[in-house]
Structure 1
Amino acid sequence: MFNDFDFKKLEFLFAYEKDELTGFLGFHQEEIQMLFIHPLFFNRGFGSQLLKKAMQDFKLNKVEVNFDNKKALKFYQKFGFQIVEEYQDDFGFKLLKMQKS
């Protein structure tokens, strides 16, 4: 996925608490490319807020999740994403393509 990807094409949403960056979501077209929350802000709703904003305002409905990242898999399933394909990347990682209809 990232071998030919130009990171300058990414758009971002950022989450803050007061003036402190708590996390961000990067996307391209209709696909979420990355969602990171600082560990100090885990389980406080920042990831959910970013994902809701991304789906509502930017119509994002696709994401890829590492097969071994069960927490991310459950997170996206909670928002209606379903597994549509499994594959192995060039580095040997098993990935799940997910989509929300």
Structure 2
Amino acid sequence: MALSQLDIHRWNRGERTLVTLAGDIGPATTPLLRTALEQCLLDGVTVIDIDLTTVGSCDARGLDAGDPAAGRRAGGPTGRGGHTVRRRPDGHVSVR
């Protein structure tokens, strides 16, 4: 079985960040994605736009990683809750 690879790039724009992904989102790469998104929240980012244009495949765990606040609605390590994840028609995902 070939190892999955996921390149993650982040561009900050004040309290908003664009995260672009290239590769496959699956069991081997989901932890990397979740860590990157959680770090955005810890850095005070209030809006995370995720560009999935160059993602080859994404399983259900990868979709769950798109919501770094999943399971933390009552607060938790990030101290934030109630984030909304939206997938736009252009392939971007927005976390608010």
For normalisation by structure 2, the TM-score amounts to 0.45
Q: Name the one with the larger helix percent.
A: 1
The structure whose Rg is larger is: 1
